[in-house]
């Protein structure tokens, strides 16, 4: 008999369906796995995130340095990063509830903030780092350096620096491109730039992006993954590269990423034509 995997359950109990889904997931795991009961010091083979995409991102932030694969069970609205529900988990349990489940490796951003006062901090972003103007909402001025080459000064409401994972999030809403999740790159997407010529750009994740805060507001901040906020001040310098570990996500065997992109994000869905039932 094969060894049973040890699984950590991470549940967004603020979700209305999460408690009921948790019961269903535990039923699927019964006899198939050992549940770690939330003990963070206990080693595990797999983490199951029960909630929405934010729950998956939070789990990835916590577990990326332990190289623990994350399986997302959706109780939220979109579920782009949580492709399973209780039924599909039961249907594919033999393939994914195992000690070494098949998973996809996705790069994570390393963030270093060197402050003007000489202090510094290191953090990470699974999805994105969003620099926003904040109150009183005057324009930011951010000087960019890429691969050691001084670039333009962005004047606008902010900047989204996204990983491939985060390219379908805030960056996409601001006009950025979609990257396949395995792409080792980062996306720079300006938010309401003053210059019409300042377009989104994709750069290698090892490009050595640096951002100098030249002008900001009292409320200017950098928000990581929509979950962690760092206040910014003039003279602060942000360096963004590739984190030492990638995030590992378990995929549904019957639902490739390209299918999820079409079905859940409605990518490339054509307009309805008159002969296809569009009313006058």
Residue 273 within any structural domain of the chain: no
Name the pLDDT band for 31 (thresholds 50, 70, 90): very high
Residues 261 and 147 in one domain: no
CATH number of the domain that residue 96 is part of: 3.40.50.10330
Look up tokens 């995929």; give the residue: 251
* Strand 70-74 versus strand 46-51 pairing type: parallel
Residue 79 near residue 54, CB atoms below 8 Å: no
Residues 234 and 204 in one domain: yes
* Strand 6-11 versus strand 34-35 pairing type: parallel
Say yes or no to pLDDT of 13 above 80: no
Residue 277 within any structural domain of the chain: no
Residues 81 and 120 in one domain: no
Residue 34 within any structural domain of the chain: yes
Residues 169 and 258 in one domain: no
Q: How far is residue 143 from each of residues 155, 198, 200, 214, measured CA to CA in Å?
A: 9, 13, 15, 7
Looking at per-residue pLDDT, the higher value among 96 and 267 belongs to 96
Q: How many residues does the chain have?
A: 280
Residue 33 within any structural domain of the chain: yes
Average pLDDT of the chain is 92
- Which is the catalytic residue, given 14, 45, 53, 225? 53
236 counts as catalytic: no
Residue 188 near residue 203, CB atoms below 8 Å: yes
Residues 69 and 160 in one domain: no
Mean pLDDT, residues 95-124 taken together: 96
The pLDDT value given to residue 273: 79
Residues 75 and 144 in one domain: no
Name the pLDDT band for 1 (thresholds 50, 70, 90): very low
Residues 161 and 97 in one domain: no
φ, ψ for residue 20, nearest 5 deg: -65, -40
Instruction: Say how many domains are in the chain.
Output: 2
Say yes or no to pLDDT of 279 above 60: no
Render pLDDT for 250-274 as a digit per residue (tens, 0 to 9). Answer: 999 998 899 888 888 888 888 877 7
Name the pLDDT band for 280 (thresholds 50, 70, 90): very low
CATH number of the domain that residue 219 is part of: 2.60.200.30
Instruction: Tell me the residue range of the domain where 169 lies.
Output: 109-242
């Amino acid at each position: 008999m094969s060894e049973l995997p040890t699984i950590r359950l991470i549940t967004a109990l603020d979700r209305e369906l999460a408690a009921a889904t948790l019961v269903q997931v535990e039923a699927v795991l019964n006899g198939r796995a050992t549940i770690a009961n939330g003990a963070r010091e206990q080693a595990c083979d797999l983490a199951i995130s029960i909630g929405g995409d934010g729950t998956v991102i939070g789990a990835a932030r916590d577990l990326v340095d332990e190289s623990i694969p994350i399986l997302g069970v959706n109780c939220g609205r979109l579920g782009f990063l949580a492709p399973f529900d209780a039924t599909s988990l039961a249907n594919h349990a033999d393939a994914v509830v195992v000690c070494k489940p098949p998973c996809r490796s996705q790069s994570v951003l390393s963030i270093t903030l060197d402050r003007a006062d000489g202090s510094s901090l290191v953090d990470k972003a699974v999805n994105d780092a969003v620099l926003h103007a904040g109150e009183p909402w005057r324009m930011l001025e951010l000087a960019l350096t890429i691969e050691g080459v001084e670039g333009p000064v962005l004047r606008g409401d902010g900047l989204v620096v996204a990983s491939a994972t985060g390219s379908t999030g805030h960056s996409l809403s601001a006009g950025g491109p979609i990257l396949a999740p395995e792409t080792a790159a980062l996306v720079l997407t300006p938010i309401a730039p003053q210059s019409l010529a300042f377009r989104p750009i994709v750069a290698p994740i090892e490009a050595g992006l640096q951002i100098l805060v030249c002008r900001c507001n009292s409320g200017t901040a950098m928000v990581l993954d929509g979950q962690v906020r760092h206040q910014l001040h003039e003279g602060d310098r942000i360096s963004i590269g590739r984190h030492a570990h990638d995030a590992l996500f378990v995929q549904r065997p019957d639902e490739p990423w390209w299918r999820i992109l079409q079905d859940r994000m409605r990518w490339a869905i054509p307009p309805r034509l008159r002969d296809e039932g569009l009313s006058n």
